[in-house]
Amino acid sequence: MGGTVGKKVVVVCGPTASGKTRLAVKLARALNAEIINADSMQVYRGMDIGTAKPTPEERGGIPHHLLDVVEPDQEFNAAIYRSMALQAAADISSRGRSCLVVGGTGLYIKSLLQGLFDCSPTDERLRESLRRECEALGPRMLHDRLRQVDPESAERIHPNDRVRIIRSLEIFHLTGRPASELMKAHGFREKTLSALKLGVKRERKELYGRIEARSIAMVEAGLVQETEKLLRKGYSPNLKPMRAIGYRHMVAYLRGEWSMEEAIVNLQRDTRRYAKRQLTWFNADPEIEWVAPGDFDVILKRVRKFFSQEDCL
């Protein structure tokens, strides 16, 4: 692979529960590669079960980077991710090893490969006003407002994602233009790495079956206890990571708002919806080559060919 390794990465992406980790570990073992996490939830310490963070056994001795790098109440975003991931990629390259970027957070992958757009100035007073409004009316009310002014962003952002809803509304109020329009204008043109993007594809029925089984397995593995432990440590249920899929469902159960059966059904439903949004994001990227996880020999051959080609950046 020689001198081409440093500027090249192979991305293994796709919806939740599609089997990205297992495929990536198998590839890494065959390629003498290391893995950079590209899941926005797996960066948090103490959030293991609900994020489907690979266990030490699942990692199979392959070095994984950007797992457990911040506490749940610490700031983390795509810009911080990009900085840390570029540093990790450079470190991996300096040791002559190949680099795999693995996860389902499309924005993090895009920021790493193509940079971030310089959106608009911030206005803390406006943001605080929107936060108070969100607390009073609920995030779905603000999400409906976002849908009126920026339907494209609203489609991409979950109705419970307070941080991104507020930020998108802030951008619109400050610039008079939708955030989605500004992102398109930027075009993410700051290409710093050459990437082969592989999307893990499963039939929808199979994927949903895996999601439903994994939701039950998470609860059986101790998701309730993990959530309780985070709450005991003083992490507010309103923190962004605590509002994520899995944790907000267990918080509702612990508060007596749902029975365990209701919590699991809602967890399964919301995870299916999340997978659908991930697929919408990835399907919009024409550079992604979709692969069946069982076709390992074909995938390995494709990856080896990519790493052996001359760098064209």
* Residues above pLDDT 90, as percent of the chain: 79
Q: By C-alpha distance, which of 66, 37, 82 is closest to 192?
A: 82
What pTM did the predictor assign?
A: 0.80
Edge-first strand listing for the sheet containing 194-200: 64-65, 33-37, 98-102, 8-13, 194-200, 289-291
pLDDT digits (tens, 9 = 90+) for 194-222: 999 999 999 999 999 999 999 999 999 99
pLDDT at 186: 53
pLDDT digits (tens, 9 = 90+) for 48-105: 999 999 999 999 999 999 999 999 999 999 999 999 999 999 999 999 999 999 999 9
From the options 1.10.20.140, 3.30.750.24, 3.40.50.1980, 3.30.465.10, give the CATH code of 124-186.
Answer: 1.10.20.140
Please state, in angstroms and rounded to a whole number, the distance separating the CA atoms of residues 143 and 145: 5
For domain 2-116+188-308, the question of CATH label 3.40.50.300 is answered with: yes
Q: Where exactly are the structural domains of the chain?
A: 2-116+188-308, 124-186
Higher pLDDT, 192 or 19: 19
pLDDT at 116: 76
pLDDT at 156: 85
Over 90: is that where the pLDDT of 241 sits?
A: yes
- H or E segment to which residue 101 belongs: strand 98-102
Please state, in angstroms and rounded to a whole number, the distance separating the CA atoms of residues 178 and 119: 10
- Tell me the H-state helices in the chain: 20-31, 56-59, 78-94, 106-114, 124-137, 139-149, 151-156, 162-175, 179-186, 204-221, 223-232, 247-254, 260-283, 296-308
